Amino acid sequence: MKKTLFFIFLMVLQIKTFAFEEPKSSYIIVLGVAQDGGYPHMGCQKECCKQAWKNPAMRRNVVSLALVDPVNKKWYLFEATPDIKQQLQNFRTQTQQKYPYLPEGVFITHAHIGHYTGLMEFGREVMGTKNLKVYVLPKFKSYLEQNGPWSQLVKLNNINLIELTANISINIANNTVAAFTVPHRDEYSETAGFKIITPTKKYLFIPDIDKWNKWDRDIVTEIKNVDVALLDATFYTNTELGNRAIAEVPHPLVTETEALLAKEDLKTRQKVYFIHFNHTNPLLWKPETQKEVLKNGFNLAHQAQVFH
């Protein structure tokens, strides 16, 4: 009964978010919060996914953000996920059709399936877009240019690849975006995080990283320098994958991130919004765990959430 009431609360929270009065300055909408496989996860019939198969309200799209510029009536997509079709429709609904269906551009972190394979929807088989801007780092750009089916998108001018330079900001209307590299499994591309600066807030977006101590920056300092930090929360503990070695897919555990920030003041901890939840992560489906993280001063990103 408690679990049912908690998820009803989350649904009401999302409905309230959908009914927001549009901010006058740039804002961010969370279009997805799950790891690359989404939630529920393909093939999973365990406790973590069982309820979500039965209850569509519990399902979550793969991690993605929309940066919305109400002054210039443009918006930008962060990550082109396998759920892109639903995410663009959700964006259209939430913003009451005030914006073009397609974003002005797409920023992508890296070449793992949950973050870029939605690009295929821009091809001739579906949207057949014309020169849609796609912002990526150099190695990723080369990968898309030299490997099909992505190279066909380039050849047919469905997408226009814009090469980003790490740690250099670019201006997009009233906002700036800077990509930076983070250590991750870089089989086909480097892995980016993004710092997004609007006229009213600074955001840090790092959906994937191996471990905070492998990065050449101090995550605590980075959090203190922004207003909102959307951080990798793929796994809660190192035992949740069962018979699969979690070392094969390294990420900072939520418990590790909490411990790293445990001595920081509440203001700093409250800047953190965990995102990119694997289906096994109880923060997606277990109210007791969700409440514990919230009690510790941290936040959970939720689908349709608005930051402004």
**With 60 as the cut, is the pLDDT of residue 6 above it?**
no
Tokens representing 46 are: 């365990």
- What is the rounded distance in angstroms from the CA atom of residue 266 to the CA atom of residue 263? 9
Residue 5 confidence (pLDDT) above 80: no
H-helix segments, the chain = 2-18, 47-54, 84-94, 113-116, 138-146, 150-155, 219-224, 254-261, 266-269, 287-295
Judged by DSSP in three states, 57 sits in helix
The pLDDT tens digits of the residues spanning 182-215 come to 999 999 999 999 999 999 999 999 999 999 999 9
pLDDT at 7 over 90: no
The answer for residues whose C-beta is within 8 angstroms of residue 18's C-beta and 6 or more apart is 93, 94, 304
Q: What is the mean pLDDT of the chain?
A: 93
Whole-number percent of the chain with pLDDT over 90: 89
Per-domain boundaries in the chain: 24-307
Reported pTM: 0.93
Q: Under a CB-based contact definition with an 8 Å cutoff, are residues 75 and 68 in contact? A: yes
Q: Which tokens sit at 19?
A: 């009914």
- Express each pLDDT in 204-254 by its tens digit: 999 999 999 999 999 999 999 999 999 999 999 998 887 777 888 999 999
Per-residue buried b or exposed e for 79-97, using 16+ beta carbons within 10 Å of the residue's own CB: bbbbbbebbbebbeebbee
Question: Domain 24-307, CATH 3.60.15.10 — does that match?
Answer: yes
Q: What is the pLDDT of residue 247?
A: 80
CA geometry: angle 201, 84, 6, nearest 5 deg: 70
pLDDT at 17: 45
Q: Decide if 94 contacts 61 (C-beta within 8 A).
A: no
Closest CA to 57 of 92, 96, 15: 15
Strand runs labelled E in 208-263: 228-232
Residues 6 or more apart from 189 whose CB is under 8 A from it?
110, 111, 136, 137, 139, 140, 143
In this prediction, residue 19 carries a pLDDT of 54
Q: What pLDDT does 245 receive?
A: 79
pLDDT computed for residue 67 by the predictor? 98
- pLDDT, tens digit, 9 for 90 and up, residues 43-72: 999 999 999 999 999 999 999 999 999 999
Above 50 in pLDDT, residue 12? no
